[in-house]
A = this chain, B = another copy of it.
Amino acid sequence: MQRVDEADLAALLAPLAWERQGSELVKVVRRQDFAGALAYVNDVARLAERAGHHPDVDIRWNTVTLRLSTHSLGGITDADLELAGQIDALTG
């Protein structure tokens, strides 16, 4: 796992539906209701378990906020970007 160089980050983020906030990548997804939000979280969790890398997850009724960061390396890594792309593929 490697921290991404600041100079490369903007280009790597361009194809992703995540917003950078400081040392985190953030994605907000809305579903029809709480059950839909939870189903989405369970889908994300399957990818996270496979990657051995886990986003922070907040559920507010129908709205899920995901935050990806590699705390041990103090920033955004290739592992974050890879999982971010896999999660984007979930939501189409």
Nearest-CB distance from A53 to chain B (Å)?
10
Chain B neighbourhood of A57, CB < 8 A: 57-59
CA distance A56 to B38 in the complex (A): 12
Number of copies: 2
CA distance A42 to B49 in the complex (A): 16
Q: State the interface size on chain A (CB cutoff 8 A).
A: 15
B61 close to A58 (CB less than 8 A): no
A42 close to B48 (CB less than 8 A): no
| Residues 16 to 40 of chain A near chain B (Cβ within 8 Å) | 34-35, 38
A34 close to B49 (CB less than 8 A): yes
CA distance A48 to B33 in the complex (A): 12
A54 close to B49 (CB less than 8 A): no
